[in-house]
Amino acid sequence: MYGSIAEILEQSEKNGKAFWEVVMEADMESRDASRDASRQTMAQMLAVMKAADRAYEGERKSASGLSGGDGKLLEAYNRAGKNLCGEFLGKVMERAIKMGESNACMKRIVAAPTAGSCGVIPAVLLSYEEAFGAPEDELVNALYVAAGIGKVIGENASISGAFGGCQAEIGSASAMAAGALAYLQGGDNAAIVNAAALALKNMLGLACDPVGGLVEVPCVKRNSHGAVNAVTSAQIALAGIKSAISPDDVIDSMRRIGNEMPASLKETGKGGLATSESAKRLCECTAVCVGA
């Protein structure tokens, strides 16, 4: 078992095991599961992500009317070849928004690590699979990498917007996706953990300020930004650039920042964007009550 990123690295080096193997074996121990059972569970998570990606409905709107259709707009923009970010990153952006909208529309998704941040990891991993043909076993391994990072964040800081702000949701998802992508691209343990640290550092202090108290505005679009941040961080780490702050210290800093945040910026819908004049007008138009 492990309680920090440093402990994962220590066990990996001591036992000659990959990052993902340390995480998988901890899962086997904690759930008293066989290797096959553990991998089957993770493969099922991947299958649900893929099914959710395929099931996106561009014409569907959420019950509040605040979400829906943006993924379709971005898809059309990408197909027109206008996205300056290129085909791969364009698909990452598109998939992240689509998944976030599907969540708002009450469709089945994987909370990775939360429902509000459900678009980040699948956007990165499924787009990588589509563009570069990663085998399913490698994608499952990448999910173990993401899970290990997420577990450490959850135990030492938080993955809850209500406790730590949106840095705990989109930030955690971005760090998890960054580490997973670094692994898929052949990165070593140093690249994996530096990618995660770099991604999380960029999200520190991010407020959780949902309009009307709903996980829609600005949450859905933040999935896209978190996914792009993950890709950027993985590339920087794979180039050999290291985070000056250790991964565990970044996570500890996120915990301290979350503790220092006022309650109004932690999912109450009573601060930040949620109380802007634009948000008030949206709530009047959609009969959504701010702070409900």
Q: Residue 286 corresponds to which tokens in the numbers above?
A: 């959609």
The DSSP symbol for 65 reads S
Mean local confidence (pLDDT), 200-218: 97
Q: Please, where are the H alpha helices in 105-135?
A: 120-132
Q: pLDDT (tens digit, 9 = 90+) per residue, 238-268?
A: 999 999 999 999 999 999 999 999 999 999 9
CA–CA distance, 80 with 97 (Å, rounded to integer): 18
Q: What is the mean pLDDT of residues 226-243?
A: 98
Q: What is the pLDDT, as a whole number, of residue 48?
A: 98
Q: Which residue has the tokens 């580490």?
A: 179
User: What value does the mean pLDDT take over residues 210-232?
Assistant: 98
What Cα–Cα distance (Å) separates residue 170 from each residue in 57, 131, 135, 225?
23, 24, 26, 9
The mean pLDDT value for 116-137 works out to 98
pLDDT above 70: residue 292:
no
Q: Within 10 Å of residue 74's Cβ, how many Cβ atoms? A: 21
pLDDT digits (tens, 9 = 90+) for 82-101: 999 999 999 999 999 999 99
Confidence bin at 288 (pLDDT 50/70/90) = low
- Identify the pLDDT of residue 253: 98
Percent of the chain with pLDDT over 70: 98
Q: Note the pLDDT of residue 290.
A: 39
Considering only the top CATH level, what class is 5-286?
mainly alpha
* Residue listed under structure tokens 């996570």: 251
- pLDDT level of residue 138 (50, 70, 90 thresholds): very high
Structure tokens at 137: 């076993």
User: Which residues 6+ apart lie within 8 Å of 209 measured at CB?
Assistant: 166, 218, 265, 269, 271, 272, 273, 274, 275
| Dihedral angle computed from the Cα positions of residues 264, 266, 271 and 274, in that order, rounded to the nearest 10 degrees | -150
Instruction: Write out the two tokens for 85.
Output: 């970010």
Are the beta carbons of 221 and 51 closer than 8 angstroms? no
Cβ neighbors of 268 (< 8 A, separation 6 or more) are 162, 213, 274, 291
Instruction: Assess whether pLDDT exceeds 50 at residue 193.
Output: yes
pLDDT of residue 287: 57
Amino acid at 126: L
pLDDT at residue 285, rounded to an integer: 84
**Which pTM value belongs to this model?**
0.97
**Residue the block writes with tokens 């014409």:** 59
Judged against a pLDDT cut of 50, whether residue 38 lies above it is answered with: yes
Note the pLDDT tens digit of each residue in 103-112.
999 999 999 9
